[in-house]
Structure 1
Amino acid sequence: MADIFHHYHVGLSQPCRSVLMILKLTNAPHEVHHVDFRKGDNKKPDFPNPFGRVPTIVHGDFVLTESPAIAKYILNVQKGDDHWYPADIKKRARVDEFLSYYHTSIRKAGIKIAVTCIFTPMRTGKPAPEEDKQQALKDFDEALARFEGYFLKNGPFIAGDEISIADIFAVSEILQADFSGADYLAGHPKIKEFIERTKAALQPHFDEVFKPLNDFVKANVK
């Protein structure tokens, strides 16, 4: 029996969702290990990532960190369909371009929304100042505009006509802004269509993978 992928996972983590989605899409044999940072699971001696971060996979005796590297490794092992990480060098370069870019753009802005609107108020017991929330939404809106203007200019998906792992990572990051409780896509109908298109392509796994995020938003975002 082939080695299974042990995936160390937090349901509210954007990169963890992307990795779990790829495991499911490729029918990779896997076991999900839910990590509770509040209990210090990531600091225990047997935690495989020396940096105490998720996602992390263990495949046999091989440990791998960093979600884009994990995604590509899974696809290489599982021989996933070409469109996820295209063999065509220009399409593949477009995927790699986005995966190199998004950390300092929509991911950075989405984290700011989560911290401002949810996690700081939970820690302090005080609601976010309205000006801080509006600034976080403004920064996110600008990141969305840059993403739309460049990465969605040549087709329905980031690499062109077919969905790739870049789209999985993009949608996971964008939907983190649900923490704001705002209609942050009101000025971006093209991105809204892109999200719906990507969701449809990822079913039936999308609803399952994104359930922890959706449940958290329903319970905590007013």
Structure 2
Amino acid sequence: MCILERFPSSSPGDHHSKEFEAINMLKTVPVLKEGDFTLIESVAILLYLTRKYRTSIYWYPPDVQLRGLIDEYMAWQHDSIHLKMQKFLWSKLLIPLITGQEMPKEKQDELLGEVNVNVQLFTDHFLKDKPFIAGNIISLADLLAAMEMMQAVGASYNIFMGKPKLNAWRQRVEDSVGARLFEEAHARLLNIKKWDTSFLDPSVKEKIVAMVKNMAK
């Protein structure tokens, strides 16, 4: 089994190569590939792994209402947390790193505003006064949420600062999986500012420059 991760590897831009396109024509990561079987969406990959390897039931418990809470968050998070955090990471860090061009401050402030609005929605609706999204025990939903929110931290913006409830939840997630594993899982992200972009394919840079122009509109 091969899982290709979300963040840049030692060969930047590999997911834009012809070889990768043969695996995933959408050129997105993560990707899970087992022989001729391929999955390209993170939620589908996580659910597949819990079912195939019969992981501890708290990741995706059999109780239908608890699953409902987990499914609700995972259905909401792609547009409302993942894409917001991703756009902020690109505008604040990756675009300047790759192109040498700073995004307009107004655009960065706009994206940060969207991030903070949806993080507050996450706190008020999905977390409420519970230790975790599905209640008293950590689940796949918490793993996804923590991973996405750490993108802001990777862009040198501490999304948890000044938000006691959110920060306490993040600490519970870290304590549940273990500090060492939590740090290892986010190591590439937190060191992304050191990414050497000199080996990036020129065609990829051209696409990113075009993206800058669209984002700046």
Shorter-chain TM-score: what band? 0.7 to 0.9
Corresponding residue of 2:128: 153
User: Where does structure 2 lack aligned partners over 5 or more consecutive residues?
Assistant: 197-217
Q: How does 1:38-77 map to 2 (within 5 A)?
A: 38-39=13-14, 42-44=17-19, 47-77=22-52
Corresponding residue of 2:55: 80
Q: Residues 117 and 180 of structure 1 are in contact (CA less than 8 Å); yes or no, is this contact kept in structure 2?
A: yes
Normalising by structure 2, we get a TM-score of: 0.80
Distance 1:219 1:39 in 2: 14
Q: Residues 15 and 21 of structure 2 are in contact (CA less than 8 Å); yes or no, is this contact kept in structure 1?
A: no
The Cα shift of 1:47 comes to: 4.0
From 4, 8, 13, the equivalent of 1:8 is 4
| RMSD, matched Cα | 2.3
Normalising by structure 1, we get a TM-score of: 0.79
More moved, 149-158 vs 202-211: 202-211
Q: Residues 113 and 137 of structure 1 are in contact (CA less than 8 Å); yes or no, is this contact kept in structure 2?
A: yes
Opposite residue 70 of structure 2, the aligned amino acid is: V
Opposite residue 151 of structure 1, the aligned amino acid is: F
Say whether 1:211 aligns with 2:184. no
Corresponding residue of 1:29: none
Q: How does 1:94-133 map to 2 (within 5 A)?
A: 94-133=69-108
Corresponding residue of 2:149: 174
Corresponding residue of 2:162: 187
More moved, 47-56 vs 150-159: 47-56
Corresponding residue of 2:212: none
Change (3 A) 1:206 1:184: closer
The Cα shift of 1:53 comes to: 1.8
Opposite residue 138 of structure 1, the aligned amino acid is: G
Helix, strand or coil for the counterpart of 1:146?
Answer: helix
Distance 2:20 2:111 in 1: 37
Distance 1:9 1:186 in 2: 27
